[in-house]
Amino acid sequence: MMQILAYSAMENNVTVNNFSSSSVNHSRDNQHIQYCCEDDPDQIQFEHVVNTYVPPVLIILGTFGNVCTLLVMRTRPFRHYPIGFYISAYALTSLLTLYLFLGSEWVALVAEKRSIDSQADWICRLWQFFSRVVTYSSIWFVVSMTIDRYITIWHRKKSSKICTLFMAKFATISIFIGLIVVSVHAMWTYELMDGCFFFHNDDDLHVVIWPWMSASCYSFIPLALIITFDILIFTGLCIRNVPEETDNEMTPMVLTHATLVLSMFYFLLVLPPTVINIVDQTYPPSWLQKPHFRLQLAKARVIGHYMAWTNTVIVFYICILFSQTFRKQVNNMLKSLIFSKPDRRMYELHHGSDSSASQMETEISVTLV
């Protein structure tokens, strides 16, 4: 089974998706869980098909969507709003995770080569640290989006002072600093064995407690914040006198509905793999004697894994469907791209012809004189 972003905050070593802990235990003491179904031909075929054909589809859709999102967010009015900054950061980290982690692991699988984190021990440690900082920043950007929209709806008088571009940049820096602090333990807890795996020692209290602490920062706390602020945003849109979406500088309600839908999809797509991961970590050893259970759990890991990866793809398509201002800007950009250059050439040809005719008339007049 393809190992994508080798980590889950709660497991000794697992595949990491962009926002959740969904995957398979690779620890030295528990390798039989990883390979519990390796003799089942249906499971092998299922994993081979999914791991071979799903990643390139996600990469293509994600590349198009995230690049378009970045281009739109660099135009007015989005570049002046903190929500536009958060969505740009989200799209950029999605691109990085798609190419650096999902893409590199897919290439290694298809080419039957060793993954990047299996090249050397120091690369293994550094890669695990770097992957956590990049991938789990996305979930905190979603949290930042929802908080920004909550303040805009429920505290409109204060929003102009709190929801600023400066505060968005400050929040982004704080997110990365926090993730660096939480993720730095990967530099000394991972080792290159048969792969880049978490070295588990039951006598080490740090190793037992820290995965749950990091899981809280990577998954549990941000998911709880997302669902809480989503409920508050939805309630505010229903009961408060909220202006319609507009690009007016004094009423920055742009992307409010898109943010709500994006964060709800994010939560729904990440929740199943997170629950699967908890089950994978807490079920009693007696369940290992049930082949049907192990087979279903293995399939659930793979499905949940790619459910969470879907979050790296959907931002552009949600903004198109649920933001009138975003659609309008995309439409303007398309019109400018399609019609501006021909119009400009026609303008230059027209005025060039006029100037040439005028110059010719002048020369004839001079000659006659």
H helix and E strand count, the chain:
15, 2
* pLDDT at 4 (0 to 100): 34
Q: How far apart are CA 200 and CA 30, in angstroms?
A: 10
Where is pLDDT greater, at 241 or 311? 311
Average pLDDT value for residue range 310-334: 93
43-87 pLDDT, tens per residue?
Answer: 788 888 999 999 999 999 999 999 999 999 999 889 889 999 999
Asked whether the beta carbons of 237 and 256 are under 8 A apart, the reply is: yes
Asked whether the beta carbons of 121 and 205 are under 8 A apart, the reply is: no
Closest C-alpha among 87, 115, 92, 91 to residue 102: 115
Where is pLDDT greater, at 208 or 120? 120
pLDDT higher than threshold 80 for residue 152: yes
Average pLDDT value for residue range 147-163: 89
Q: How far apart are CA 264 and CA 200, in angstroms?
A: 35
Where is pLDDT greater, at 358 or 65? 65
* pLDDT at 185 (0 to 100): 80
- pLDDT level of residue 252 (50, 70, 90 thresholds): low
- pLDDT level of residue 188 (50, 70, 90 thresholds): confident
pLDDT higher than threshold 70 for residue 37: no
* pLDDT at 225 (0 to 100): 97
Q: How far apart are CA 23 and CA 106, in angstroms?
A: 16
Closest C-alpha among 282, 283, 312 to residue 65: 312
CB atoms within 10 A of CB 284: 6
Mean pLDDT of the chain: 79
* pLDDT at 199 (0 to 100): 65
* pLDDT at 206 (0 to 100): 61
pLDDT higher than threshold 70 for residue 88: yes
Q: How far apart are CA 333 and CA 338, in angstroms?
A: 9
From the number of C-beta atoms within 10 Å of its C-beta (0-12, 13-18, 19+), residue 105 rates as buried
Q: How far apart are CA 299 and CA 203, in angstroms?
A: 32
268-302 pLDDT, tens per residue?
Answer: 999 998 888 888 777 777 776 777 777 888 888 89
